[in-house]
Chains A and B, each alone.
Chain A
């Protein structure tokens, strides 16, 4: 946004115009602002997840007499930890490949970047597939059956939605790179995409602990 404003703009400024570094300075400054804004946005997303996590913890510890809760006189089963552990590794692995993709881009290693980007997107989609399998096999009474299902499906559903958006975000970035939107000095979109992807991974760390290990 701000970049294009600066590029369109003429200026009545009082410094020496159009020196070689000028464009670069503007890029750095706008990148800095957008990065700050993006990190703050991720912070608000943390708060959104925290609200639902608080709800889950509160319902589990302060309201439910036993956990998993009783439904019709039977206690619900726990979730399948082993499968979720594999799925977690898939997602965390995509975080690492994304990091390597960005590093490759920074060093102008185009082929390497493409490889890792493809891996990231595949692993991300794989995680979503795993989630779908998990949803089909979770025997906890569905989304609206009880508070366990409500917290589990709402939180992991929100997370899954974030992963889903993230996959498309990465695909869009990949298309942009092939169109030459970024070079190895100016790639804020890729930075933002990587941060978002790491963020999604880390939310999963918390959810994995809360639902499968606690």
Chain B
């Protein structure tokens, strides 16, 4: 406080530097560093218990870091009290004050800071969330979606340097959640604040965020734009947690120019070196994981496909199961080498549906696949069903 800069007015990018939080023997957040540019929509994505909420609570000041620093611009807020930080939170269960009207809830932060012109700002905030008509009601008289918006307005009205959202849509039903995702994105664009959104819902993170950081076991597995994470995952966890991936083990045969020649029980194939994730060894005999998204694989009956030369990589197999999903059909294909490969085929022409036990050829472009380090758990991130975790 002796410093001349007023921390409550700090602004700029948010920096987390080597941030660590331990509870006894358990390390919830492990040496985490990241930079969130001012005005961006940033998502922290991960399964429950991955440390994302702990990270959020350290930024808001409700949890004291074991080590590391938190900065907003030049201001160090690592050990500041929550009420001294230019940071506001939208809590998971909204935490609206039940004994106050909606108007008083929204005005709470402004009044504590002794701001003049409270009335206009609160009215504007209520207008932004389109709830002017319920200003004099109590929180319990509002629907879940309305309460969610009030919680948002109560935080936004303070124009914080960083707005934290802790699973803000977790309590809403699916339809309302989709609607609120668009609403949140609109409001973020309108007010231009830095949003940090914590969620376990990969679709939610990808829909809204400019940048997504995938967290697991207290560390960031990978950070980047949603398309980058989806198309070029660095780890098996990211490949499995974001969408679905076919991952199968292979070994390196040689490096041939820009290509990697790989071998697995179903034969040898090529992958571009540019499609390698983190820590992949290109030594001869090194173990790798090859990944292909189910929708990037083309499936055709073997007799028809075998006529021409295969475009890129291919593997033959037998259809074990099919499920018709409307927009697409999901096939499970077993290769001679014993791998199960999932394929999503768009239903352009339903006459092309392949029955179970058909002989098929699967083809995909090498550029659509990715190569990961083979020394990691192939199942990482796979068993986690995001919607099954909502209850916990």
* A, B co-complexed: no
A interface residues, Cβ below 8 angstroms from B: none
Residues of B at the A interface (CB closer than 8 Å) are: none
